Amino acid sequence: MEIPKNRLLPDTAQINSLGHLEIGGVDTVELAKKYGTPIYLYDETTIRNRMREFITSVRETYPRSKVLYAGKAFLIKKMAKIAAEEGLGLDVVSGGEIFIAKDSGFPMENTYFHGNNKTLEELRFALDAGVGNIVVDNLSELKLLASLVKRRPVNILFRLTPGVDPHTHSYISTGKIDSKFGFQLDSRDLEEAVELVKTVTFLHFTGLHCHIGSQIFDTAFFRMASQIMAEQVVIFTKKWDLPVKELDMGGGLGIAYKPDDNPPTPKEMAVAIADPVGEVCNREGIEPPTLILEPGRYIVGNAGVTLYTVGTIKEIPGVRKYVSVDGGMADNPRPMLYQAEYTAFLANKMDKSPKETVTIAGRFCESGDILINSSLLPMVEYGDILVVSATGAYNYSMSSNYNMCPRPIVIGVSDGRDEVWVEREKYIDLVRLQR
């Protein structure tokens, strides 16, 4: 078996002399012995490589730019520290993510607070914590925020819904007209929001935001959204006398989950977004805004894998062969939520040729707890270490304690060293808050 060439696995992945999968200079089979499984495993080198690649790609295309890490993909204190060290801002979507940023020492002036229903408590906490920018999603939120900002100015951006459907899964498509997110273009709510922001001293309007969806492979949709948003920059600047200093186009760049996936590069995304902005602003004679992009999945998706131990094996003649592992929908709900597809390997048999097609089943009490419907692997045996690739994004962050199972440990590897980033939950943690 060969290491895929399409960045499916972390940059440092290789097959060592024992035929084992090695990541970050660490033998994953030995890691499973040391810590047990399941393990969320992250390669710090890949995370930093992706951050640097994204920043360089955007700045080469559009020098006046800023890159934010979309924390919802995977946010722990270690990730906030890495983002700060690499010069990224941070996209946060809840009071909890704000708390992690603050607790890790992240520069709060470089945070952007998103969300369609920020609570009163979260807005107060954001202001007290020094969150630098709040992305206002709707008129009722703007009115609530206006009642709170009495001590210091707060930068705000309006989230707009550009009406672009990127043809991704409906659950991760967020830029269509029928969306819970953002102001509709040309709506009365948007006009009223513009009027309100001009009358509130401490609401400092800085720009516009949109996000059309996730796991996008066709950059034409980014270009389409950018064209629409660039025209809105003109409208806000000339019609409403609200100069747009920042244009935040969100994230959404797809990654490889399967060997035949061929997603676009950050450079291709940046060009598709930057070109319309430059053309429209040049045509209208207005100063181009700072361009902001918010990668999350691209930064951590392929930097992470999950290690499982193979348990029971059940073959139904003429139907299928089930291979069950010690994890499943509680540590990776994406296949059940929106039919996400993944690729698996046997970490202890990377030098063996694929021999059989099996179904990777989880351990949880649901018939739908299937991680991979059809996986071509070497002959699978009890105790093998199964690796599911590209699980770095939206796995830990969406995990649960379903069936009262503790969440897995999170391990970071780099230069032959392993480090615990998040401890494995214990049974006592399951009842710690119960009364």
Active site residues: 365
230 with 343, same domain: the answer is no
Same-domain check for residues 230 and 359: no
Q: Is residue 6 part of a domain?
A: no
d(CA 293, CA 68): 6
Q: Is residue 329 part of a domain?
A: yes
Answer with the one of 299, 319, 337 that is the final residue of a domain. Answer: 299
The confidence score (pLDDT) of residue 4 equals 80
Cis, bond preceding 38 (omega within 30 deg of 0): yes
Confirm whether 389 is domain-assigned: yes
Pair (192, 335) in one structural domain: no
Q: What is the mean pLDDT of the chain?
A: 95
In a domain, 2, yes or no: no
**347-374 b/e (C-beta count within 10 Å ≥ 16 → b):** bbbbeeeeeeebbbbbbbeeeebbbbee
What DSSP character marks residue 298? H
Q: Which of 207, 283, 285, 221 is nearest to 251 (CA)?
A: 221
Identity of the residue numbered 141: E
Same domain, 193 and 128: yes
Whether residue 171 is predicted with pLDDT greater than 80 in this model: the reply is: no
Q: Would you state the pLDDT for residue 201?
A: 86
Give yes or no: residues 85 and 105 share one domain: yes
Spatial separation of the C-alpha atoms in residues 362 and 166, rounded to whole Å:
31
Question: What are the angstrom distances between the C-alpha of 434 and each of 74, 330, 428, 430?
Answer: 27, 20, 10, 8
4 lies in a domain?
no
**Is 105 in the same domain as 218?**
yes
Task: Please list, in sequence order, all residues whose beta carbon lies within 8 angstroms of the beta carbon of residue 198, skipping any fewer than 6 positions away.
Answer: 242
pLDDT tens profile 175-205: 446 678 899 998 899 999 999 999 988 999 9
* Residue 404, both tokens: 């009262």
Average the pLDDT over 92-111 and give the result: 98
The answer on 314 and 226 residing in a single domain is no
Structure token pair of residue 204: 């400092």
Which of 269, 299, 329 is the last residue in one of the domains?
299
Cβ neighbours of residue 13 closer than 8 Å, sequence gap 6 or more: 3, 21, 22, 23, 43
For 306-338, what is each residue's pLDDT tens digit?
A: 999 999 999 999 999 999 999 999 999 999 998
Mean pLDDT, residues 288-303: 98
Q: What is the pLDDT of residue 66?
A: 97
Question: Looking at 260, 278, 299, which one is the last position of a domain?
Answer: 299
Of 172 and 294, more confident: 294
Residue 223 lies in a domain: yes
For residue 214, is it within any domain? yes
Alpha carbon 348 to its chain centroid, in Å, reads 29
Both tokens of residue 238?
């000339």
Q: How many CB atoms lie within 10 A of CB 387?
A: 26
What pTM, to 2 d.p., does this model score? 0.95
Q: What is the pLDDT of residue 170?
A: 45
> Tokens 């001009």 — which residue?
198
Alpha helix ranges (H) inside 9-43: 28-35
Rounded distance, CA 116 to CA 142, Å?
11
My answer on whether 141 and 202 are in the same domain is yes
- Which tens digits make up the pLDDT trace of 352-390? 999 999 999 999 999 999 999 999 999 999 999 999 999
The CATH number linked to 276 is 3.20.20.10
In this structure, what token pair is assigned to residue 405? Answer: 């199972």
Residue ranges making up the domain that contains 128: 45-299
Euclidean distance between CA atoms 168 and 347, whole angstroms = 31
CA distance 176 to 434: 41
Number of domains in the chain: 2
Residue 321 domain-assigned? yes
Closest by CA position to 340, among listed 303, 388, 308, 386: 388
What pLDDT band is residue 163 in, cutting at 50, 70 and 90? confident
pLDDT tens track for 46-85? 999 999 999 999 999 999 999 999 999 999 999 999 999 9
Is residue 319 domain-shared with residue 370, that is, in the same domain?
yes
Q: Is the dihedral of CA 34, 39, 100, 248 positive or negative?
A: positive
Query: Do both 274 and 357 map to the same domain?
Result: no
Q: Give residue 181's pLDDT.
A: 87
Helix (H) or strand (E) holding 58: helix 44-61
Indicate if 74 and 170 belong to the same structural domain.
Answer: yes
Statement to judge: residues 60 and 188 lie in one domain: yes
What 3-state class would DSSP assign to 123? helix
Write the CATH number for 374: 2.40.37.10
Can you tell me the distance from the alpha carbon of 335 to that of 329, in angstroms, rounded to the nearest whole number?
A: 8
Are 181 and 159 in contact by the 8 Å Cβ rule? The answer is yes
Angstrom distance (rounded) from CA 118 to CA 189:
18
Share above pLDDT 90 across residues of the chain, in percent, rounded to a whole number: 92
